[in-house]
Structure 1
């Protein structure tokens, strides 16, 4: 409030969630709209700061951003270092993308295959521990996609809504999502630094308002995102809850 600005880290390499308006440096997308609304509620400016999986937690810990809305799901390891808003804004898992006719039809078929992911993604442990893949991790999503197209890996795993949107593009006609079930779906939440209970409480009510008003469902539809069952459930849960009156003075 004193600064007149909230700095929110958003992943801008992911189509529906966040990208740049063609021909400009203007960020647009589902997560960008969430970030803008957080600033709008108390009447401050939102500065969208581009982050990737490899640096998002560090940016928050170092104070380069105040919050993260960056496709970052809840894990015990992350919760040890950072705090998060209890009410999720989505539930995300990993979708596997492979060339058509790869022969992959279930997660177990990945044994001994090379799978590419983004550094810092939560998919690393289940892929290596449960499915015994040869893992390659890249700094950002664009590098992962290039590796797949350049035959640097047999398949990739990235956030499911982003991959479903990607495969609608004509240039990806030679690829498919051969496994219907997402890998380790988990709550996607807003992250903040530890020991900020008042901010955490206000943000939680904002997210609850997004659900209760139906705005979050409408926003997802605008970006052609299929809502998870959890989001429909949370809409019903908070539909009758009074809207939050966010204070506009420190």
Structure 2
């Protein structure tokens, strides 16, 4: 029994050591494998979505492809959701996350954030043009569809007096809005801009209000993966220097954000 216990303790310690070693040798392990595995969204146009052939395309897959090119390896994209993306990273199913993930204090405790942050979004509301809403104050006491669990729901309700009507995911609140259950859909501004690229939405809906509650996004790697962290920090700075993300926004049909433009301005002469 004592020998068995010692063996179990030794095996557990060995697994921990191997996990740490793998994290510490991230770039070398990727090069030996010959493939970079990146978690991206597949339901968030134009940042990550499936084209008619089923391939995942968009701004963040393009960023992932650039990282793979710099490493000299192939790229494998893995579709992730908000509910599993951090778990996939912690379990080693992916090497890094570029998946519209907001920078939140609780997330910094469990993943390694890449600095500088690569993107920043706003919160906004998609509204039927017939509603003629020109100011956030005009939404007071009106029902607004939202996604359950979004960190900004309570802030918007408190600041502007809206009645939040929450649904799972993004398709259900959009459907509810179409059915007239609420005046608009509260969500990430970039996602809503993506919807306005689609014929189904652009004719009757718009974003008449200025975005609120800026929400920086982060690229993340596993804790302890210092070699990949360093490579991504250098890569992000280079993206900002050459205006790569600004060009990606234009390529995929959305207006460059204030953040993307200001970071390009800050880094371009460095």
> In which range does the TM-score fall when normalised by the shorter chain?
0.7 to 0.9
Q: Name 1:135's counterpart in structure 2.
A: 164
The residue that corresponds to 2:51 in the other structure is 21
By percentage of residues, which structure has more helix? 2
Superposed, 1:24-103 pairs within 5 Å as 24-102=53-131
Tell me the TM-score normalized by structure 2.
0.78
| Displacement of 1:132 | 4.4
Q: What SS does the aligned partner of 1:96 have? A: strand
2:177 paired with 1:177:
no
**How many residues were matched structurally?**
239
1:227 corresponds in structure 2 to 256
Label 1:130 to 1:81 Cα distance change in 2 as closer, same or farther (>3 A): farther
Please report how far the alpha carbon of residue 4 of structure 1 lies from its aligned counterpart in structure 2 after TM superposition: 2.5
| TM superposition score normalised by structure 1 | 0.83
State the shift of 1:56 in Å. 2.5
| C-alpha separation in 2, matches of 1:39 and 1:139 | 34
**Aligned residue among 176, 198, 205 for 2:234:** 205
RMSD, matched Cα: 2.4
Is residue 3 of structure 2 the alignment partner of residue 3 of structure 1?
Answer: no
Unaligned regions of 5+ residues in structure 1, if any? 242-250
Matches within 5 A, 1:101-140: 101-102=130-131, 104-140=133-169
Cα drift, residue 45 of structure 1:
2.2
User: 1:182 & 1:52 partners in 2: Cα distance?
Assistant: 24
